[in-house]
Amino acid sequence: MEKATFGAGCFWGVEAAFRHVDGVTGTAVGYLGGTTENPTYDDVCSDETGHAEVVEVEFDPARVSFDQILDVFWQIHDPTTLNRQGPDAGAQYRSAIFTHSPAQEAMARASLERAQASGRFARPIVTEITPASAFWRAEDYHQRYLERRGMASCHI
């Protein structure tokens, strides 16, 4: 199994989207990219910790490639809005790819270039690509939030 970690707005909808991808074996929502150890949801929402709401995706590379996972990432959010997705605003909602290896970083950068060149986005992509740091799992009530409430998706 391999891991991929993404920020693409509110983590509830992002998690739901990745859970439907064939070859994804698990997901967890949490916080990454900030300076506070073991942040809470309230800490992250204060916009003072530097963390992004993220989804850690575990996938089977024999069934789905990292490039295919990246394609899903580009499809499920607007990577051209800085620190915002829909009505959600703040650095915790930024578009981000947190890489787990040099190979993932290279693939993510190439994927960003392809996405920008595709003409699908009218504005420049602002997605950050950085090495993954400590992943802090979000509180239990956030895990599979939409699924547990019988909701298929929300805006992302």
The catalytic residues are 10
Query: CA 98, CA 108: separation in Å to the nearest integer?
Result: 9
Cβ(131)–Cβ(105) under 8 Å?
Answer: yes
3-state SS, one letter per residue, for the chain = CEEEEEEECCHHHHHHHHHCCCCEEEEEEEEECCCCCCCCHHHHHCCCCCCEEEEEEEECCCCCCHHHHHHHHHHCCCCCCCCEECCEECHHHCEEEEECCHHHHHHHHHHHHHHHHCCCCCCCCCCEEEECCCCEECCHHHCCHHHHCCCCCCCC
